[in-house]
Amino acid sequence: MSRIGVFICHCGENISRTVDVERVAAEIGRHPGVAFSTDYKYMCSDPGQTLLKKAIQEQRLTHVVVAACSPRMHEKTFRKAVEVAGLNPFLCEMANIREHCSWVHEDREEATVKAIDIVGMMVERVKKNRVLAAITVPVTKRSLVIGGGIAGIQAALDIADCGHEVILVEREPSIGGHMAQLSETFPTLDCSQCIMTPKMVDVANHPKIKLYTYSEIELVEGYIGNFQVTIKKKARSVDEDKCTGCGVCMTKCPQKKIPNRFDQNIGMRSAIYVPFPQAVPNTPVIDRDNCTWFKSGKCGVCQKVCGPGAVDFEQQDRLVVEAVGAIVVATGFDLYSINEKPKGSAIKGYGEFGHGKIPDVIDGMTFERLASASGPTGGKILRPSDGKEPKQIVFIQCVGSRAREKGISYCSKVCCMYTAKHTMLYHHKVHDGQAYVFFMDARTPGKSYDEFWRRSIEEEEAVYIRGMVSRLYQKGDKIVVMGSDIAVGVQVEIEADMVVLATAIQPQKGADTLAQKLGISYDKYNFYSEAHAKLRPVECATAGIYLAGACQGPKDIPETVSQASAAAAKVMTLFSKDKLEREPVVARVREAGCVGCFACKKVCAYGAVEEKEIRDRQGNLVKIVAYVNPGVCAGCGTCQATCPSKCVELDGYTDEQIVAMIEAL
């Protein structure tokens, strides 16, 4: 005979405002099998939990139902409390009377009746719960970090400094990411290269970090603590072990007029190249699409001049498999491209700004390269069209961002600050020039951020104009900016020498494909989703995978670094134990009834279903049945719904329990 305890939470006023909690407690007290019921203002608080524990002991309770918020929020809390009081934690269930009831209803009477129904159902379910023991799985204490920008670098260094091995995979020939492209950084104006390159060197020299550049993730298998990752090392055409990084190949390469993507295509590079002089590793790569040898079979100069004989035209892509226990995803962002998009694309462009047609209309990242001391102009602000110094420069904010008509309704978060920085850099470099900024709102929350923005206006003399720009057009060697100042209520026209567009931040191209390989979720823009917006911001819903940086949403450097360290801390928490305990809410196969159709295997999204041979005592094969690997099973229940012979059941969600719940209504 079960003695069930039911605990009704007020959740402050969140539940009690619409649900008569005392009445719920009284009525559920009369439900068959319920030995005790009560209500309390905050069940999750320390006194609330104490009340629960005391009742279990004093009332000799066998099962517990906590009627409160969503189990996503506090199921762990209450199961722990129940365990402390001496009960098996899986004999505790939560009835959600907040999200499913009080928050979505207005009528108190009806909400109360519904709450009683919800709690009654959970009482019937918990009656049939089984005692479960946590599943333990071994943990491989190595981690994979995907993406070698500042987020990936920070996470990799933190984990490696703790003594755990890290595999760092970067798609480009060098690590560094977007931060390596920046000139100076807000709000302190320290040079990006100066603070970035030492960290890049640390990565290269760290004995615990294994670096794969010019490489991509091909396949991810396994589960938390036990992932197998296949990495594709693209053919670099240069042997990394032999190359000394002397750079003779690059100076001798006859193909020198290839636009360098690292310099936003305003600088040029050779066909065998490193994207920038401080690249890590300092090993060149051959761009086979532009190399004369690969196009026509002639040339081969780089191979002839290479002393150590590192140039290898025959090199092939190759696959490497690495075993890791945790994965940090740090794939970063891409810039919104301003121009017209193909018809049918969800994201639209800005034809009215003439970007791509008017040479001196550039994006913010191109301005960074112009302002960078290691950039194509050596840090001088010069127009791409004629190399002249612009004396009137216009910045336009929110290009792509906050524009639902263009398909992106979010704020890109960093543009207000980097535009303020741009006006300062411009003022420092062009003393007789004037910067104008068209903006809607200045969004500058952050330590010393608003002060920085104000400084750009008050000390660096940038003129901010509240209003947007309708159109840009070339008139002679000027760009006419048709804007408006909504504070004054007039149209504004500026004949500018150069225009810089603060373009939106988007996730990296292919972010969705990578997410599908990893089995993690992403939003409609392809930003990766965290498990909980507030309380689990660096974890994915998929166990063992963590997020760092702008792949999760627009972020600046300080925030990215914080999140990267947080993700590293989560990985180290996982690695602090040799074995990992997992929720035992997994599917089990009733082998006697299983006919081996493997419908369950086809539908399992986690690859948890395996084939198991049943043999008699003589070792003869009797049949092959399905087996659910408890280490991999995520407890989603798809197999249970699919099985034609009703032989797979998920603990806590068996057919018997579901029927009992329905009958309680």
Partner 1 sequence: MNKKLNYSYYPGCSLHASASEYDLSTRELFKTLNIGLTEVPDWFCCGATPAHNVDELLSLSLCAKNLELADKVEGDLAVACAACFSRLKFTQHTLEENMTKRKQVEKAIDAPLKLDGKVKHLLDILARDLGLERLAAAVKKPLSGLKVACYYGCLLTRPPDVPNLDCAEAPTIMEQVVEAAGAETVAWTHRLECCGANFTLSRPGVVIQLTNAILESAKDAGADCIMVGCPLCHGNLDIRQKEIEGVYKADYNLPVFYLTQLVGLSVGLGADKLGLDAMIVNPLPLLKEKGLL
Partner 2 sequence: MKKKKMIISQETMDIDFVRKVEALADTSVRRCFQCGKCSAGCPMATFMEHPPNRVVRLLQLGQWRRVLEGRSIWYCASCETCSTRCPNKVHLASIMDALRKLSWDAHGPSKEGYVQLANKLFLQNIRTYGRQYEMRLAAVFNVKSGQFLKDLMLGPKLIAKGKLKMFHSKNKNLPEIEKIFTRIAEIRAKGEAL
CA-nearest of 641, 589, 593 to 610 is 589
65 is a site residue for partner 2 (CB under 8 A): no
Please name every residue paired with 361 in a beta bridge, in sequence order, or none if there are none: 499
Q: Give the pairing type, strands 226-233 and 190-191.
A: unpaired
Partner interacting with residue 13 (select from partner 2, partner 1, none; CB below 5-8 Å by kind): none
Is 235 a binding residue for partner 2 by CB under 8 A? The answer is: no
169, two tokens: 């995979």
Based on the shown chain and the rule CB under 8 A, indicate whether residue 299 belongs to the binding site for partner 1: no
CA angle 125, 127, 133 (to 5 degrees): 95
- 495 binds partner 1, rule: CB under 8 A: no
Q: Answer whether 503's CB lies under 8 Å from 413's CB.
A: no
Min separation Cβ 493 and partner 1, Å: 12
195 binds, among partner 1, partner 2, none (CB under 5 to 8 A by kind): none
Contact call for residue 404 and partner 1 (CB under 8 A): no
Going by C-alpha positions, the residue among 441, 435, 438 that lies closest to residue 423 is 435
Determine which residue in the list 1, 490, 533, 605 makes contact with partner 2, applying CB under 8 A: 490
Residue 85 · residue 26 · CB < 8 Å: no
Distances (CA, A) of 122 to 16, 47, 283, 654: 19, 24, 62, 13
Q: Which of 373, 488 has the CB closer to partner 2?
A: 488
**251, two tokens:** 């100076």
Residue 543 partner contact from partner 2, partner 1, none using kind-dependent CB cut-offs of 5 to 8 Å:
none
User: Is residue 358 at the binding interface for partner 1, with CB under 8 A as the rule?
Assistant: no
Residue 385 Cβ, how far from partner 2 at the closest point, in Å? 24
Asked if residue 352 binds partner 1 (CB under 8 A), the reply is yes
Strands 215-223, 226-233: pairing is antiparallel
Nearest residue (CB) to partner 1, 340 versus 523: 340
The residue among 73 and 358 lying less far from partner 1, judged by its C-beta, is 358
Interface with partner 2 includes 489 (CB under 8 A)?
yes
State which of residues 30, 298, 404, 475 lies at the interface with partner 1 (CB under 8 A).
475
**Measured over all CA atoms, what is the biggest interatomic distance in the chain, rounded to whole angstroms?**
95
How many CA atoms does the CB half-sphere of 448 hold within 13 Å? Answer: 7
Q: Which is nearer to partner 1, 263 or 360 (CB)?
A: 360
Least distance CB 70 / partner 1 (angstroms): 39
Phi, psi of 410 (to 5 degrees): -85, 165
Nearer to partner 2, 176 or 400 (CB): 400
Closest approach of partner 1 to the CB of residue 415, in Å: 22
Locate all alpha helices (DSSP H) within 332-378, ordered by sequence. Answer: 364-371
> What is the C-alpha separation between 576 and 310, in angstroms, rounded?
42
Residue 480 contacts partner 1 per CB under 8 A: yes
Burial class of residue 249, CB neighbours in 10 A (0-12, 13-18, 19+): buried
Q: Which residue has the tokens 């395996």?
A: 610
Among 13, 99, 107, 340, binds partner 1 (CB under 8 A): 340
3-state SS, 5-47, equals: EEEEECCCCCCCCCCCHHHHHHHHCCCCCEEEEEEECCCCCHH
Nearest CA to 216 among 506, 513, 507? 513
- In whole angstroms, the minimum distance from the beta carbon of 665 to partner 2 comes to 41
The rounded distance, in Å, linking the Cα atoms of 511 and 549 is 13
Cα–Cα distance, 191 to 269 (Å, whole number): 23
Residue 297 touches which member of partner 1, partner 2, none, C-beta under 5-8 Å by kind: none
User: Minimum CB separation from partner 2 for residue 481, in Å?
Assistant: 9
Q: Give the residue with the Cβ less far from partner 1, 250 or 480.
A: 480
Contact call for residue 403 and partner 2 (CB under 8 A): yes
Q: Is the CB of 357 or the CB of 646 nearer to partner 1?
A: 357
Please, what is the minimum distance in Å from the beta carbon of residue 353 to partner 1?
9
What are the CA-CA distances from residue 344 to residues 341, 348, 349, 646 (Å)? 8, 9, 12, 45
With binding defined as CB under 8 A, does residue 298 bind partner 2?
no
Query: Could you tell me the smallest distance in angstroms from the CB atom of residue 465 to partner 2?
Result: 9
Task: Choose which of 13, 317, 352, 461 interacts with partner 2 (CB under 8 A).
Answer: 352
Minimum CB–partner distance for residue 460 and partner 1 (Å):
32
- Residue 475 site contact among partner 2, partner 1, none (CB < 5 to 8 Å, cut-off depends on kind): partner 1
- Choose between 71 and 351: whose C-beta lies nearer to partner 1: 351
Report the site for partner 2 in 437-456 (rule: CB under 8 A): 440
Interface region with partner 2, contact rule CB under 8 A, candidates 217-225, 401-409, 583-591, 596-604: 401-409
Give the binding range for partner 1 (CB under 8 A) out of 78-86, 244-252, 473-481, 583-591: 473-481
Site for partner 2 in 460-479 (CB under 8 A): 466-471
Measure CA 328 to chain center: 9
Q: Could you say which of 178, 402, 422, 443 contacts partner 2 (CB under 8 A)?
A: 402
Tell me, residue by residue from 188 to 227, as one string, x for binding to partner 2 by CB under 8 A and - for no binding: ----------------------------------------
Respond yes or no on whether the N-terminal peptide bond of residue 281 is cis (omega within 30° of 0): yes
Can you give the three-state secondary structure of 381-449, one letter per residue?
Answer: CCCCCCCCCCCEEEEEEEECCCEHHHCECCCCCCHHHHHHHHHHHHHHHCCCCEEEEEECCCCCCCCCH
Residues lying near partner 1 in the complex (CB under 8 A) are found at 340, 350-352, 357, 473-475, 480
Residues lying near partner 2 in the complex (CB under 8 A) are found at 352, 398, 402-406, 440, 466-471, 482-486, 489-492
